[in-house]
Amino acid sequence: MGSSLLTNSSAMTALQTLRNVSSQLATTQNRISTGQRVSTASDNSAYWSIATSMRSDNAALSAVSDSLGLSAAMVDTEYTALNTVIGDKDSGLTKLQALLVEAKTAGIDRTKIQSEVTQIQQDMKLKANSATINGINWLSIDTSTGSTATPTSFNLVSSYSRVGGTPTIGSITVTTATYALYTTGGATKTGILDTVSGGSTGASIDTISISALTDSAADQTKLDGYITQVTTAINSVASAAANLGAVKNRIATNTEFVKNLIDSVDRGVGQLVDADMNAESTRLQALQTQQQLGVQALSIANQNSQSILSLFR
């Protein structure tokens, strides 16, 4: 094939190779700088779309994790208060029961016992009213029909999943009446500790008074009724605490699961879009060498035109 001033085939081939190498080099350098082999939709539209959806799911899962943290704090607060109300030999319903049993003793000064009973009653109400977190209290609730009424139930967000384009939010439902120790706003008291037992002449745990009782058979029977009432309340509060304990364990289990799921999705996204840095660094060195050789080949091809001048000297 003869030499031509108008068409330098060698230079065209060398230039085409150099352009191809430069393009691959730019792609490799972008992967190294971003750490991703699919960083934009143009890199791989299918993988980019899947990864984008998975990242969106992970953001929702992260929100669920935060919500579970708040729910755990809420449940723990109410659970702690319920345990405190049950108390022990020195406090709470357990101490109240012991005092009422002591009041059965003939000739005992029940006025002095009542002073302790009153302190326990006030302390239990204080504990229940103090079990408030984020403006919510499940132990002292408002049962009115107004805007200040406590919701009858709360949904604690516990999970998130998406099938196709349909998201599903899972929740743990707690019913406030299950844990209510005291109620306000309603026509009648319905809490565990303020529900009146024995009709209109009876008393609630919150209003028991023994200072006026005597050793008479009728008053001893009334004391027996109070003791039974407190024993029933202990069982009810213990049942509420056990229920919250189960909710607490479920939240802890879901929290761990959501964290593991977030890690799993992160790994899945990484497998789709992350670059293999070992392979990319090796490819970078090879392409840099090819680029240098391409420049050299183009230089040699361009020298062919210069050699034609020697023929006219």
Q: What is the mean pLDDT of residues 211-215?
A: 94
> Is residue 26 in some structural domain?
no
Instruction: Let me know whether 79 and 152 are in one domain.
Output: yes
- pLDDT value of residue 219: 94
Mean predicted lDDT score pLDDT of the chain: 89
Instruction: Let me know whether 108 and 54 are in one domain.
Output: yes
pLDDT tens by residue, 243-298: 999 999 999 999 999 999 999 999 999 989 888 888 888 888 898 888 888 888 88
- pLDDT value of residue 200: 53
Rounded Cα gap, residues 84 and 92, in angstroms: 7
Q: What is the mean pLDDT of residues 115-119?
A: 96
Instruction: Let me know whether 156 and 106 are in one domain.
Output: yes
Among 12-21, 102-111, 123-132, 146-155, whose mean pLDDT is lowest? 12-21
The confidence band for 305, taking pLDDT boundaries of 50, 70 and 90, is low
> Is residue 245 in some structural domain?
yes
> Is residue 6 in some structural domain?
no
Domain that holds residue 260: 45-273
Q: Structurally, how many domains does the chain consist of?
A: 2
> Is residue 34 in some structural domain?
no
State yes or no: pLDDT of 6 exceeds 80: no
Instruction: Let me know whether 74 and 203 are in one domain.
Output: yes
- pLDDT value of residue 111: 95
How far is C-alpha 240 from the chain's CA centre?
A: 23
